[in-house]
Amino acid sequence: MNIASSGLRLLSCTAALALSLSAAAQAKDPNAEFEKFRAEMEESNPAELFEIKGEELWKARRGPKNVSLAESCDLGQGMGKVEAAYVKMPRYFADADAVMDAERRIVWCMVEKQGFKFDDIAKKPFQGGNDNNAPEITNLVTYVASGSRNMKFDIPLGDPKVRDAFETGKATAAYRAGPYDFSCNTCHGVDGKRIRMQNLPNLATPEGAIKGVQGWPGYRMTGGVMLTSQWRMNDCFRQQRFPEPKYASQAVTNLLTYMSGNSNGQIYKGPGIKR
Protein backbone atom coordinates (compact mmCIF):
# COMPACT_ATOMS: atom_id res chain seq x y z
CA MET A 1 0.00 0.00 0.00
CA ASN A 2 1.46 3.35 -0.96
CA ILE A 3 1.26 6.43 1.20
CA ALA A 4 -1.12 8.30 -1.08
CA SER A 5 -3.75 5.59 -1.12
CA SER A 6 -3.58 5.06 2.62
CA GLY A 7 -4.00 8.79 3.06
CA LEU A 8 -7.07 8.69 0.86
CA ARG A 9 -8.47 5.80 2.78
CA LEU A 10 -8.02 7.59 6.06
CA LEU A 11 -9.60 10.68 4.64
CA SER A 12 -12.68 8.84 3.45
CA CYS A 13 -12.94 7.00 6.74
CA THR A 14 -12.88 10.15 8.87
CA ALA A 15 -15.37 11.73 6.49
CA ALA A 16 -17.70 8.76 6.80
CA LEU A 17 -17.41 8.78 10.57
CA ALA A 18 -18.07 12.51 10.59
CA LEU A 19 -21.24 12.00 8.59
CA SER A 20 -22.55 9.28 10.84
CA LEU A 21 -21.72 11.21 13.98
CA SER A 22 -23.06 14.59 12.90
CA ALA A 23 -26.54 13.10 13.16
CA ALA A 24 -26.05 12.53 16.88
CA ALA A 25 -28.07 14.88 19.05
CA GLN A 26 -26.22 18.01 20.15
CA ALA A 27 -26.59 19.50 23.62
CA LYS A 28 -28.57 22.75 23.68
CA ASP A 29 -26.20 25.59 22.91
CA PRO A 30 -26.21 28.32 25.56
CA ASN A 31 -24.00 30.38 23.25
CA ALA A 32 -26.58 30.73 20.50
CA GLU A 33 -26.62 34.50 20.98
CA PHE A 34 -22.93 34.76 20.35
CA GLU A 35 -23.22 32.54 17.30
CA LYS A 36 -25.85 34.86 15.85
CA PHE A 37 -23.65 37.86 16.55
CA ARG A 38 -20.64 36.14 15.05
CA ALA A 39 -22.55 35.28 11.89
CA GLU A 40 -23.52 38.95 11.49
CA MET A 41 -19.97 40.12 12.18
CA GLU A 42 -18.53 37.78 9.61
CA GLU A 43 -20.30 39.72 6.88
CA SER A 44 -17.53 42.27 7.38
CA ASN A 45 -14.89 39.91 8.68
CA PRO A 46 -12.27 41.83 10.72
CA ALA A 47 -9.79 39.02 10.04
CA GLU A 48 -9.50 40.27 6.45
CA LEU A 49 -7.49 43.30 7.57
CA PHE A 50 -4.87 40.95 8.95
CA GLU A 51 -4.93 38.84 5.79
CA ILE A 52 -4.08 41.93 3.73
CA LYS A 53 -1.18 42.86 6.01
CA GLY A 54 -0.02 39.26 5.91
CA GLU A 55 -0.10 39.17 2.12
CA GLU A 56 2.12 42.27 1.94
CA LEU A 57 4.56 40.66 4.36
CA TRP A 58 4.52 37.39 2.41
CA LYS A 59 5.44 39.14 -0.82
CA ALA A 60 7.94 41.70 0.51
CA ARG A 61 11.70 41.14 0.39
CA ARG A 62 12.68 41.22 4.05
CA GLY A 63 15.15 40.12 6.66
CA PRO A 64 18.98 40.02 6.63
CA LYS A 65 18.88 37.93 3.45
CA ASN A 66 16.41 40.24 1.75
CA VAL A 67 14.22 37.60 0.19
CA SER A 68 10.47 37.21 0.20
CA LEU A 69 8.61 34.22 1.57
CA ALA A 70 6.73 34.12 -1.73
CA GLU A 71 9.98 33.23 -3.48
CA SER A 72 11.61 31.09 -0.78
CA CYS A 73 9.04 29.38 1.45
CA ASP A 74 7.49 26.07 0.46
CA LEU A 75 4.44 25.24 2.56
CA GLY A 76 4.09 21.88 0.89
CA GLN A 77 2.19 23.02 -2.20
CA GLY A 78 5.12 24.35 -4.21
CA MET A 79 7.37 27.35 -3.75
CA GLY A 80 5.50 30.29 -2.26
CA LYS A 81 2.06 28.77 -2.89
CA VAL A 82 -0.45 29.43 -0.14
CA GLU A 83 -3.52 27.95 -1.81
CA ALA A 84 -4.77 24.89 0.09
CA ALA A 85 -1.61 24.88 2.23
CA TYR A 86 -3.23 25.57 5.61
CA VAL A 87 -5.74 22.68 5.48
CA LYS A 88 -2.91 20.30 4.60
CA MET A 89 -0.72 21.21 7.55
CA PRO A 90 0.64 19.89 9.88
CA ARG A 91 2.66 17.89 7.38
CA TYR A 92 6.16 16.51 7.16
CA PHE A 93 8.86 18.79 5.66
CA ALA A 94 11.97 16.95 4.57
CA ASP A 95 14.15 20.10 4.51
CA ALA A 96 13.48 20.63 8.22
CA ASP A 97 13.08 16.91 8.97
CA ALA A 98 10.05 17.71 11.08
CA VAL A 99 6.27 17.69 11.08
CA MET A 100 5.20 21.32 11.22
CA ASP A 101 1.96 23.23 11.58
CA ALA A 102 1.48 26.40 9.51
CA GLU A 103 2.84 28.81 12.12
CA ARG A 104 5.85 26.67 12.89
CA ARG A 105 6.62 26.32 9.18
CA ILE A 106 6.40 30.05 8.49
CA VAL A 107 8.68 30.76 11.45
CA TRP A 108 11.10 28.16 10.07
CA CYS A 109 11.10 29.93 6.69
CA MET A 110 11.61 33.35 8.30
CA VAL A 111 14.64 32.00 10.14
CA GLU A 112 16.17 29.75 7.47
CA LYS A 113 15.31 31.71 4.34
CA GLN A 114 15.04 35.33 5.42
CA GLY A 115 17.63 35.16 8.19
CA PHE A 116 15.50 36.43 11.08
CA LYS A 117 16.47 35.26 14.56
CA PHE A 118 14.14 32.72 16.15
CA ASP A 119 14.51 34.30 19.59
CA ASP A 120 13.39 37.67 18.26
CA ILE A 121 10.21 36.14 16.83
CA ALA A 122 9.59 33.98 19.92
CA LYS A 123 10.03 36.93 22.31
CA LYS A 124 6.49 38.14 21.73
CA PRO A 125 4.67 35.86 19.30
CA PHE A 126 1.07 36.69 20.36
CA GLN A 127 -0.84 39.95 20.53
CA GLY A 128 -1.53 41.06 24.10
CA GLY A 129 -4.46 43.13 25.30
CA ASN A 130 -2.40 46.34 25.30
CA ASP A 131 -0.76 45.89 21.91
CA ASN A 132 -2.13 47.95 19.07
CA ASN A 133 -0.85 45.62 16.40
CA ALA A 134 -0.70 41.89 15.91
CA PRO A 135 2.82 40.51 15.47
CA GLU A 136 3.97 39.99 11.88
CA ILE A 137 3.86 36.23 12.29
CA THR A 138 0.14 36.39 13.16
CA ASN A 139 -0.58 38.38 10.00
CA LEU A 140 1.38 35.89 7.95
CA VAL A 141 -0.44 32.89 9.41
CA THR A 142 -3.76 34.63 8.81
CA TYR A 143 -2.86 35.27 5.17
CA VAL A 144 -1.77 31.67 4.64
CA ALA A 145 -4.95 30.41 6.33
CA SER A 146 -7.09 32.58 4.06
CA GLY A 147 -5.72 30.60 1.12
CA SER A 148 -7.64 27.59 2.40
CA ARG A 149 -11.02 29.24 2.92
CA ASN A 150 -13.88 26.79 2.30
CA MET A 151 -11.56 23.87 1.69
CA LYS A 152 -11.61 20.52 3.44
CA PHE A 153 -9.06 19.59 6.05
CA ASP A 154 -6.78 17.04 4.49
CA ILE A 155 -3.95 16.31 6.93
CA PRO A 156 -1.76 13.59 5.38
CA LEU A 157 -2.23 11.02 8.17
CA GLY A 158 -1.11 8.28 5.81
CA ASP A 159 2.44 9.60 6.15
CA PRO A 160 3.95 7.64 9.08
CA LYS A 161 5.71 10.73 10.46
CA VAL A 162 2.46 12.70 10.48
CA ARG A 163 0.71 9.71 11.99
CA ASP A 164 3.31 9.63 14.77
CA ALA A 165 2.68 13.32 15.48
CA PHE A 166 -1.07 12.63 15.54
CA GLU A 167 -0.77 9.72 17.97
CA THR A 168 1.71 11.60 20.17
CA GLY A 169 -0.69 14.54 20.16
CA LYS A 170 -3.49 12.25 21.24
CA ALA A 171 -1.35 10.98 24.13
CA THR A 172 -0.40 14.56 25.00
CA ALA A 173 -4.08 15.50 25.26
CA ALA A 174 -4.58 12.68 27.78
CA TYR A 175 -1.49 13.49 29.90
CA ARG A 176 -2.45 14.61 33.40
CA ALA A 177 0.01 16.49 35.55
CA GLY A 178 0.48 19.70 37.50
CA PRO A 179 -1.05 20.91 40.78
CA TYR A 180 -4.65 20.29 39.60
CA ASP A 181 -4.00 16.96 37.81
CA PHE A 182 -5.50 18.43 34.63
CA SER A 183 -5.09 17.19 31.07
CA CYS A 184 -6.69 18.59 27.93
CA ASN A 185 -9.20 15.75 28.29
CA THR A 186 -10.28 16.97 31.74
CA CYS A 187 -12.01 19.80 29.93
CA HIS A 188 -12.24 18.52 26.34
CA GLY A 189 -12.53 14.74 26.72
CA VAL A 190 -16.28 14.15 26.64
CA ASP A 191 -19.27 15.58 24.79
CA GLY A 192 -21.46 18.42 25.99
CA LYS A 193 -19.41 19.78 28.91
CA ARG A 194 -18.95 23.41 29.92
CA ILE A 195 -16.64 25.56 32.04
CA ARG A 196 -19.07 28.14 33.38
CA MET A 197 -21.06 29.06 30.22
CA GLN A 198 -18.33 28.20 27.73
CA ASN A 199 -18.91 25.07 25.68
CA LEU A 200 -15.98 22.72 25.58
CA PRO A 201 -15.52 20.81 22.34
CA ASN A 202 -14.68 17.11 22.70
CA LEU A 203 -11.47 17.05 20.68
CA ALA A 204 -11.60 13.27 20.15
CA THR A 205 -14.65 13.50 17.89
CA PRO A 206 -14.86 14.95 14.36
CA GLU A 207 -17.51 17.50 15.43
CA GLY A 208 -15.52 18.57 18.48
CA ALA A 209 -12.18 18.70 16.69
CA ILE A 210 -13.49 20.93 13.92
CA LYS A 211 -14.81 23.36 16.55
CA GLY A 212 -11.31 23.41 18.00
CA VAL A 213 -9.66 24.53 14.76
CA GLN A 214 -12.53 26.41 13.09
CA GLY A 215 -12.29 30.19 13.10
CA TRP A 216 -8.59 30.24 13.94
CA PRO A 217 -6.67 32.41 13.35
CA GLY A 218 -9.43 34.46 14.88
CA TYR A 219 -10.26 38.00 15.83
CA ARG A 220 -11.08 37.73 19.49
CA MET A 221 -13.79 40.07 20.66
CA THR A 222 -12.50 39.76 24.23
CA GLY A 223 -9.70 42.31 24.01
CA GLY A 224 -9.98 42.95 20.27
CA VAL A 225 -6.88 40.98 19.32
CA MET A 226 -5.97 38.68 16.45
CA LEU A 227 -4.78 35.25 17.62
CA THR A 228 -3.69 31.93 16.13
CA SER A 229 -4.12 28.25 17.06
CA GLN A 230 -0.64 28.42 18.59
CA TRP A 231 -1.98 31.02 21.02
CA ARG A 232 -5.04 28.90 21.81
CA MET A 233 -2.79 25.98 22.78
CA ASN A 234 -0.63 28.29 24.88
CA ASP A 235 -3.59 29.68 26.78
CA CYS A 236 -5.16 26.27 27.40
CA PHE A 237 -1.88 25.06 28.91
CA ARG A 238 -2.04 28.12 31.16
CA GLN A 239 -5.54 27.10 32.28
CA GLN A 240 -4.23 23.59 32.71
CA ARG A 241 -1.74 25.03 35.26
CA PHE A 242 1.15 23.71 33.20
CA PRO A 243 4.35 25.63 32.52
CA GLU A 244 4.51 27.25 29.08
CA PRO A 245 4.95 25.30 25.85
CA LYS A 246 7.91 26.73 23.97
CA TYR A 247 6.79 28.76 20.98
CA ALA A 248 6.44 26.81 17.73
CA SER A 249 7.61 23.61 19.41
CA GLN A 250 6.92 20.00 18.47
CA ALA A 251 4.64 19.51 21.48
CA VAL A 252 2.23 22.12 20.10
CA THR A 253 2.46 20.78 16.55
CA ASN A 254 1.54 17.32 17.87
CA LEU A 255 -1.66 18.65 19.45
CA LEU A 256 -2.55 20.57 16.30
CA THR A 257 -1.96 17.42 14.23
CA TYR A 258 -4.34 15.54 16.50
CA MET A 259 -7.10 18.16 16.27
CA SER A 260 -6.68 18.97 12.59
CA GLY A 261 -6.38 15.28 11.72
CA ASN A 262 -9.63 14.57 13.53
CA SER A 263 -11.17 17.35 11.41
CA ASN A 264 -10.18 15.73 8.12
CA GLY A 265 -12.90 15.85 5.49
CA GLN A 266 -14.65 18.82 7.10
CA ILE A 267 -14.63 22.31 5.67
CA TYR A 268 -12.39 25.04 7.06
CA LYS A 269 -14.16 28.37 6.72
CA GLY A 270 -11.07 30.54 6.97
CA PRO A 271 -9.86 33.08 9.54
CA GLY A 272 -12.81 34.19 11.63
CA ILE A 273 -14.16 35.64 14.83
CA LYS A 274 -13.85 34.28 18.32
CA ARG A 275 -15.44 35.19 21.61
Partner 1 sequence: MKTLLFAAGATVATLLLAACASGPRLSEAEYRQMAIDTIKRDFQAKGQAKHERVTQDEVQQACNSYLNNPPNELMVKLTSAQLAAVKLPADGKYLGDWKEGEKIAQSGRGFTWSDKADEPAGGNCYNCHQIGPQETSFGTIGPSLLAYGKTRGNSPEIQKYTYSKIFNAKAFNLCSEMPRFGHAGALNEQQIKHLVALLLDPASPVNK
Catalytic residue list: 236
Size of the site for partner 1 (CB under 8 A): 51
Query: Which listed residue (53, 91, 104, 163) binds partner 1 by CB under 8 A?
Result: 163
Q: Is 105 in the site for ligand HEC (CB under 6 A)?
A: no
Do the Cβ atoms of 206 and 14 come closer than 8 Å? yes
CB burial class (10 A; 0-12, 13-18, 19+) of residue 139?
buried
Query: Which listed residue (156, 201, 270, 272) binds ligand HEC by CB under 6 A?
Result: 201
Helices (H), 23-125: 32-41, 47-59, 69-72, 102-112, 118-123
Size of the site for ligand HEC (CB under 6 A): 24
Do the Cβ atoms of 84 and 144 come closer than 8 Å? no
Range in contact with ligand HEC (rule: CB under 6 A) among 11-19, 60-68, 69-77, 229-237: 229-237
Give the Cα separation of 208 and 129 in Å (integer).
Answer: 28
Nearest distance, CB of residue 180 and partner 1, angstroms: 4
Q: Is 157 in the site for partner 1 (CB under 8 A)?
A: yes
Query: Which listed residue (27, 79, 195, 251) binds ligand HEC by CB under 6 A?
Result: 195
Do the Cβ atoms of 155 and 88 come closer than 8 Å? yes
Query: Which listed residue (3, 4, 13, 96) binds partner 1 by CB under 8 A?
Result: 13
Q: Is 57 in the site for ligand HEC (CB under 6 A)?
A: no
Partner touching 79 among partner 1, ligand HEC, none, CB below 5 to 8 Å by kind: none
Tell me the β-bridge partners of 218.
Answer: 227, 272
Query: Which listed residue (127, 142, 172, 228) binds partner 1 by CB under 8 A?
Result: 172
Length of the chain: 275
Of 233, 251, 242, which Cα lies nearest the Cα of 179?
242
Of 224, 219, 229, which Cα lies nearest the Cα of 44?
219
- Of 235-264, binders to partner 1 (CB under 8 A) are 238-239, 241-246, 249-252, 254
Do the Cβ atoms of 275 and 232 come closer than 8 Å? no
Partner touching 220 among ligand HEC, partner 1, none, CB below 5 to 8 Å by kind: none
Nearest distance, CB of residue 157 and partner 1, angstroms: 6
- Of 156-185, binders to ligand HEC (CB under 6 A) are 173, 182, 184
Maximum CA extent, the chain: 55
Helices (H), 160-241: 160-173, 184-188, 206-213, 229-239
Nearest distance, CB of residue 184 and ligand HEC, angstroms: 3
Do the Cβ atoms of 87 and 185 come closer than 8 Å? no
Do the Cβ atoms of 116 and 63 come closer than 8 Å? yes
- Of 10-39, binders to ligand HEC (CB under 6 A) are none
Nearest distance, CB of residue 48 and ligand HEC, angstroms: 19
Q: For binding to partner 1 (CB under 8 A), which residues are involved?
A: 6, 9-10, 12-14, 16-17, 20, 157, 160, 163-164, 166-172, 174-182, 186-187, 192-197, 200, 238-239, 241-246, 249-252, 254
